[in-house]
Amino acid sequence: MLDGEEGPGLALAMRVVTRVAAAMGASKLLDISDAHIDSCLDHGQAGVDFASRLAAEGCQVRVPTTLNVSSLDLIHPDLYRGEERTALRARELMQYYEDMGCRPTWTCAPYQSERRPGFGQHIAWAESNAIVFANSVLGARTHRYGDFIDICAAITGRAPAAGLHLDENRYASLVVDVSSISQLLIERDVFYPVLGHLLGQVSGSRVPVIAGLPEQVNEDRLKAVGSAAASSGAVGMFHCVGSTPEAPDLAIACGGLDKATERLVVDMAMLCRARDELSTSASTDLGIVSLGTPHYSVSEFERLVRLMDGRQVHPSVSFYVSTGREVLTEIGLRGWVAELEAAGIQLVTDTCTYITPVMADCDGVAMTDSAKWAYYAPGNIGVDVVFGATEDCVESAVLGRVVRDDTVWSS
């Protein structure tokens, strides 16, 4: 491939892969069985030009390859509020990746698909929350890949034998002990994005292990931890003792307890500071509620339907929930799409509300249950954010003003 015997497109892709391998100190490449592409999201003309060149050379992916969120919601095109020329460029970019044989999944949560990588499989996934979920929860192996290297790995079927692909780089070097936190808080969903936000801050790019949680923490909660940690830090993998596949106990997660060089005992003051950092305003004037970053799962929609309980969103509030196409199909079959839309909730697919201009203008704050959305939205789209539990978001949307029950944080 590198010598051009299979065409100039593959030669370009392999040059990228081998240069990245050299930069990572890899002495060889390895075969991958799956890829997830983030570079289908429009960040400017350079991304379009790169994809155009590969597609024009007839490049095709060699492994099953999913596509991350794009810059457009093709199912709900009327939501787009940006410039037409930007939309046309985004659609052009999306088409190039489809032309190269990628599946038009348009989701940041490819792990919610029926088909997902298995334990120990080497893959090349981009998009920070997808990476950390694949490594941590599925036990698949991917480094923290980004734009251009992702599609080049998919086209060549190769990735550098380095980073989180290797055993020695997957052991925890930081123990984060939450055993002193009250069980009442641990039993609440809101605890997990806040823990993730703190985890990213204290871990940086290290692999941490969480100790002190009950066994078998569910996937939605682990998703919340990972997506937040990958935003506030550069976490590509974490362990959770008794819940993630490479951490049946603390010693195994650390590759021997002597390998964990640091231990952090988390207290309520740390968590409350982390929670407060996720809000940029104390205003109760609510304009927007945005859920689904990462994309909402079927079980998260089930909870949302239960919390709404047939009530209506206040007419002064725009309520958005982002999800993937497969999940949208499933909740449609269960009748939840019609129920949520009748309640005044707008579903968003193929993209995310903190990236693409789809949300209505408003004078109030935006409220979310996602630490990732709270971290990025102020800088990306210029809104003030209030972070709260899903229950808080729903109650606020119904009442038309921000309400939060903070009693659980004082226990």
Amino acid sitting at position 117: P
On whether both 300 and 209 belong to a single domain, the answer is no
- Pick from 166, 193, 214: which residue ends a domain? 166
Domain total in the chain: 3
Over residues 7-25, the mean pLDDT reads 98
What's the chain's average pLDDT?
A: 96
- Tokens standing for residue 18: 């081998």
On whether both 192 and 105 belong to a single domain, the answer is no
* pLDDT tens digits along 268-278: 999 999 999 99
pLDDT band per the 50, 70, 90 thresholds, residue 188? very high
Q: Which of 187, 185, 188, 208 minimizes the C-alpha distance to 196?
A: 208
- Tokens standing for residue 211: 């100790």
* pLDDT tens digits along 125-157: 999 999 999 999 999 999 999 999 999 999 999
Classify residue 261: in a domain, yes or no: yes
State the CB neighbour count (10 A cutoff) for residue 283.
15
On whether both 178 and 260 belong to a single domain, the answer is yes
* pLDDT tens digits along 96-120: 999 999 999 999 999 999 999 999 9
On whether both 121 and 264 belong to a single domain, the answer is no
pLDDT band per the 50, 70, 90 thresholds, residue 256? confident
Task: Look up the CATH number of the domain holding residue 157.
Answer: 3.30.499
Q: Which of 44, 46, 38 minimizes the C-alpha distance to 65?
A: 38
* pLDDT tens digits along 224-248: 999 999 999 999 999 999 999 999 9
On whether both 240 and 261 belong to a single domain, the answer is yes
Classify residue 3: in a domain, yes or no: no
- Pick from 253, 276, 299: which residue ends a domain? 276
Say how far apart CA 395 and CA 35 lie, in whole Å. Answer: 39
On whether both 285 and 395 belong to a single domain, the answer is yes
On whether both 12 and 148 belong to a single domain, the answer is yes
On whether both 260 and 312 belong to a single domain, the answer is no
CA angle 165, 171, 172 (to 5 degrees): 130
Classify residue 2: in a domain, yes or no: no
Q: For residues 202 and 178, is the Cβ–Cβ distance under 8 A?
A: no
Classify residue 312: in a domain, yes or no: yes
Classify residue 1: in a domain, yes or no: no
State the CB neighbour count (10 A cutoff) for residue 244.
22
Say how far apart CA 371 and CA 229 lie, in whole Å. Answer: 9
**205 CB burial (10 A radius; 0-12, 13-18, 19+):** exposed
**Site of tokens 């990213």:** 200
Helix (H) or strand (E) holding 291: strand 286-296
| Whole-structure pTM value | 0.97
- Pick from 166, 189, 207: which residue ends a domain? 166
Q: Which of 106, 139, 100, 84 minimizes the C-alpha distance to 38?
A: 106
pLDDT band per the 50, 70, 90 thresholds, residue 342? very high
pLDDT band per the 50, 70, 90 thresholds, residue 67? very high
Classify residue 213: in a domain, yes or no: yes
pLDDT at 363: 87
On whether both 161 and 58 belong to a single domain, the answer is yes
pLDDT band per the 50, 70, 90 thresholds, residue 259? low
**Site of tokens 């990628």:** 102
pLDDT at 260: 63
Q: For residues 146 and 47, is the Cβ–Cβ distance under 8 A?
A: no
Distance (Å) of CA 233 to CA 52, 188, 335: 32, 23, 38
Q: For residues 344 and 319, is the Cβ–Cβ distance under 8 A?
A: yes
pLDDT of 257 higher than 80: no
pLDDT of 345 higher than 70: yes
Query: 250 is in which domain, residue-wise?
Result: 171-276
* pLDDT tens digits along 369-394: 999 999 999 999 999 999 999 999 99
Say how far apart CA 211 and CA 245 lie, in whole Å. Answer: 14
* pLDDT tens digits along 286-299: 999 999 999 999 99
Task: Look up the CATH number of the domain holding residue 347.
Answer: 3.30.499.10
Report the SS3 class of residue 399: helix
Say how far apart CA 53 and CA 121 lie, in whole Å. Answer: 30
Using left for φ > 0, alpha for ψ between -120 and 50, and beta otherwise, residue 209 falls in: beta
* pLDDT tens digits along 37-60: 999 999 999 999 999 999 999 999
On whether both 16 and 133 belong to a single domain, the answer is yes
Q: 349 has which bridge partners?
A: 323
On whether both 394 and 362 belong to a single domain, the answer is yes
On whether both 42 and 146 belong to a single domain, the answer is yes
